[in-house]
A and B are shown apart, each in its own frame.
Chain A
């Protein structure tokens, strides 16, 4: 099965930039997802990468290197509301889109 690794916790300052890394080891790769999850709530979709390179969406960007089994989520101009867990997830199973999630990175944004 998949083995998805990401840091457990990170702390960053309001207004700064933070990069959350994710590595995965798998076959049957079908896309790399990033979700944001606030405590007690369901995850919300942030990004999806299936090809190598950087995808930018406003303050959030996501990068993928398939050959290295590596992705990162980049958050710019951090705001206090960005404090949440960020889940790296790998898609597999063509047609059914099953996701395997990492344990999540708890990001704390401090003033």
Chain B
């Protein structure tokens, strides 16, 4: 099966700083990646759809200027949380769809962000 690597797994930062999270498809090319956010005891909420070589598509209520997404290559998408605040503390997970198994999404291992 396909492997999606996400880094870092855990970040603790001060309020006001920016945090970058990387998501890589290790053995396949992913033209589309998805970024989710999960608060404790809540469901995964889709934040944005990241398309290689074009602008990301953001879900309603997600600030595109705060959550910057870059998908510069077929194997890498990054999510930057700019000027992070405590309310941004959450579990962020990326996923990618592999054409080889069309019905599946493969998830990264997630990033636990804690903003102090």
Contacts and interface: CB of A to CB of B under 8 A. Distances in A.
A4 B46 CA distance: 14
Given A96-B32, A97-B97, A98-B34, A42 B46 contact: no
Interface in A64-101: 87, 89, 91, 96-101
B76 interface: no
Interface string B41-84: 11111100100000000000000000000000000000000000
Interface residues of B, number: 23
Contacts of A19: none
A42 B107 contact: yes
B29 interface: no
A7 interface: no
Contact of B107 (A40, A44, A50, A102): A44
Contacts of A41: 109-110
Contacts of A91: 103
A98 B109 contact: no
Interface of B: 6, 32, 34, 36, 41-46, 49, 91, 93, 97, 103-110, 112
Given A33-B103, A43-B44, 6 more contacts: A45-B104, A96-B97, A97-B105, A98-B46, A102-B43, A103-B43
Q: Which 5 A-B pairs have the closest CB atoms?
A: A42-B107, A101-B43, A48-B103, A101-B44, A103-B43
